[in-house]
Amino acid sequence: MSTADFARYRVEPEERMNLADHDPADTGGYASEAEAQQELASLTERIADLQARLYAEEQRSLLVVLQGIDAAGKDSTVAHVFRGTNPQGVRVYTFKEPTTDEAAHDFLWRYHRDTPTKGMVHVFNRSHYEDVLVVRVKELVEEDRWRSRYESINDFERMLAREGTTILKFFLHISKECQLERFRERLEREDKHYKFSSNDVRERRNWDAYQDAYEDALCLTSTHVAPWYVVPSDHKWFRNLVVARAVAGTLATLDPQWPEPEEDLERFAAEELGRLPSRG
């Protein structure tokens, strides 16, 4: 998959798109997972190296947003794409129902607290977009209120970008049939039970409403500084490959550098170390 191939998954600013036109089972021309494994391994190594440089440079930051319907694979994407990174420089945040304190503030307050400091990579496993998705589908606030949030989100992301944070947003796009298969797997496997609840089944009834909500969010908030990518996610391995390529490519564009040593550090160190007694 070349960089040009990946660009076709990007939602262009002000583009009106329809999720029905995006195939969630697309594999980008790869015939099997085996064909992609070597590239994925290479990409994760590249991400680890670039992330270490970003952390050491301590000048800019990266925010990765993962959104998707239940069972789209957000947790798994984090585990595979960032598996080689230094946990000192990478943080993952998951946002659930707001606490009483969080609900008493503006809707962006709790997200802003967890945006990355310089040198850091932060991953939002669900994000500020819940406030134009879940809130909309469940009718938790009036329509005029959630509709005004698109503009607030765009302003928020533009501000982060101006302050040195690069933003990548991924919608993990799966089919309704694939979601059902993954629900069944969670039900049948003891080690997956913790990921499954009766609420997942109830939310599945709102599939069409969520697709509409996602389409609006993707169209209205994909900008030059914070683009959305619709990632085909029926095949877990291809989903991981697409996200890894985007993260690696973005970090490579940032081109973080190892900091220069202090002036005369080598001479000073040699003199000081020379005064130490020999171990022998």
Q: Per-domain residue ranges for the chain? A: 3-275
User: What pLDDT is attached to residue 268?
Assistant: 63
- Low-confidence residues of the chain: pLDDT under 50: 1-4
- Let me know how long the chain is: 280
* 71-81 residue pLDDT tens: 999 999 999 99
Q: Looking at the domain 3-275, which fold is it? A: Rossmann fold (3.40.50)
User: What pLDDT is attached to residue 272?
Assistant: 64
Q: Is 93 helix (H, G, I), strand (E, B) or coil?
A: strand
Chain centroid to Cα 45, Å, comes to: 18
Cβ neighbour number for residue 58 with a 10 Å cutoff: 14
Smallest Cα–Cα separation from 253: which of 60, 78, 5?
Answer: 60
Read off the amino acid at residue 223.
T
64 is written with which tokens? 């990765």
pTM score: 0.91
Looking only at the bridges linking them, the beta strands covering 165-173 and 10-11 are: unpaired
109 is written with which tokens? 């307050």
Contact 92, 32 (CB under 8 A): no
Q: Which residue has the tokens 């680890």?
A: 48
